[in-house]
């Protein structure tokens, strides 16, 4: 979630046409929209489905609270209510010490291990890689519960070649936890963690798993999903946070091992700006990104925000149930959205 102007996104219509339509024949595979309503003004959602309870933890909003991580709840994934902020009145001192001037907290990730909920989040300021990923834990989900500060998981400063924000945490088939993170600078990083602390293993160092390979390196917001024997790495590219001028879009690559190498459907490396399209702007859905993944009701779900062109560019929650092509690639867009992209000039 590094927030500075970026170059405009390249048109993805041709790539979407090849990957989603031609590869699937006359009956294209399509994602399914999960309708949402209520309090859905959300940025950088972390979607969690816990039985019948759906939760979204998201970037802080100084206009609505004190800038701490926001919490929303639903009993069906459709109607959402705002529950409050996590630790709104009790900020640990390390946040200002590690990141002077930090106000609102960004891009949370919420995962469960052995009955404990782990809430990872980013403390940073716009356009800087003096950043830190923090951790809180709780025995239950919600805003008004006993979240305990566990300190800094990883941090970066001006001398580092990466930005310690946008955490994404998963556990592999062997029970080992990993954290992907990163925004601009050196791209997307991966570091091994350890349960039950949720902290990096001793001597652990991040390795690059995705990069655009140019001076701007406009890639961020990783999310990891295991499906069909592969690890899928979702990333957001180009410009967020510009309202209706945002050019954010989501791409994906996959690897047999969580550490990579990740490639797209054409075999291009994500270390060299590869990526298969997943979401792009269609109609009033502008700049989709900031994604997370969850499993609920047997569905693999992609939660993300977009800038609503019908509401002045307000960041808005969206959820899609993923479909999969025969070749094993995730699809989030509906048939109508795919057809809209392929009908654009130059597609």
Cα angle for residues 145, 150, 153 (degrees, 5° grid): 130
Give the closest residue to 210 by CA, choosing from 181, 169, 246. Answer: 181
Q: List C-alpha distances in Å: 260 to 180, 186, 209, 238.
A: 12, 16, 6, 23
Q: What is the DSSP string of 261-325?
A: --B-TTS-BGGGT--EEEE--BTTEEEEEEEEEEEETTEEEEEEEEEEGGGTTEEEEEEEE-EE-
CB neighbour class for 122 (10 Å; exposed up to 12, middle 13-18, buried from 19): buried
SS (H, E, C) 6-68: CCCCCCCHHHHHHHHHHHHCCCCCCCEEECCEECCCCCCCEEEEECCEEEEEECCCCCCCCCC
**129 HSE (CA, 13 A, CB side):** 17
The alpha carbon torsion through 343, 217, 177, 121 (nearest 10 deg) reads -90
Q: How far apart are CA 118 and CA 238, in angstroms?
A: 29
List 39, 166, 220, 251, catalytic entry:
220
220 noted as active-site residue? yes
- Three-state DSSP state, 71: strand
Q: How far apart are CA 80 and CA 36, in angstroms?
A: 7
Q: How far apart are CA 322 and CA 106, in angstroms?
A: 25
Q: How far apart are CA 46 and CA 297, in angstroms?
A: 17
List 39, 41, 44, 280, catalytic entry:
44
Provide the pairing of β-strand 105-113 with 116-123. antiparallel
97 noted as active-site residue? no
Q: Any idea what DSSP says for residue 184?
A: S
Active site residues: 44, 220
């Amino acid at each position: 979630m590094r927030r500075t102007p970026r170059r405009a996104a390249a048109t993805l219509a041709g790539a979407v046409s090849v990957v989603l339509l031609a590869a699937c024949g006359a009956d294209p595979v399509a994602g399914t929209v999960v309708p949402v309503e209520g309090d859905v003004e959300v940025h950088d959602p972390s979607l969690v489905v816990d039985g019948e309870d759906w939760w979204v933890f998201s970037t802080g909003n100084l206009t609505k609270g004190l800038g701490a991580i926001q919490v929303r709840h639903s009993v069906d994934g459709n109607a959402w209510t705002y529950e409050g902020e996590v630790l709104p009145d009790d900020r640990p001192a390390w946040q200002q010490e590690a990141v002077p001037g930090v106000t609102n907290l960004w891009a949370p990730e919420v995962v469960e291990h052995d009955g404990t909920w782990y809430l990872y989040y980013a403390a940073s300021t716009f356009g800087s890689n003096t950043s830190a990923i923090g951790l809180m834990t709780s025995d239950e989900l919600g805003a008004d519960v006993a979240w305990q500060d566990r300190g800094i998981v990883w941090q970066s400063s001006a001398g580092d070649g990466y930005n310690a924000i946008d955490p994404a945490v998963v556990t592999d088939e062997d029970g080992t936890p990993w954290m992907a993170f990163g925004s601009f600078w050196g791209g997307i990083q991966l570091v091994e963690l350890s349960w039950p602390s949720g902290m990096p293993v001793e001597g652990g160092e991040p390795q690059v798993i995705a990069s655009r390979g140019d001076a701007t390196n406009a890639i961020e917001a990783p999310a990891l999903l295991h499906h069909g024997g592969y690890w899928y790495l979702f990333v957001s590219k180009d410009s967020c946070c510009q309202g209706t001028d945002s050019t954010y879009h989501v791409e994906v690559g996959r690897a047999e091992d969580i550490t990579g190498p990740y490639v797209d459907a054409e075999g291009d490396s994500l270390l060299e700006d590869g990526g298969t399209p997943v979401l792009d702007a269609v109609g009033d859905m502008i700049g989709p990104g900031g994604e997370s993944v969850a499993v609920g009701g047997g569905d693999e779900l992609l939660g993300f925000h977009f800038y609503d062109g019908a509401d002045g560019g307000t960041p808005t929650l969206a959820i899609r149930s993923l479909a999969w092509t025969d070749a094993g690639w995730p699809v989030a867009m509906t048939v109508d959205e795919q057809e809209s992209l392929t009908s654009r000039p130059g597609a």
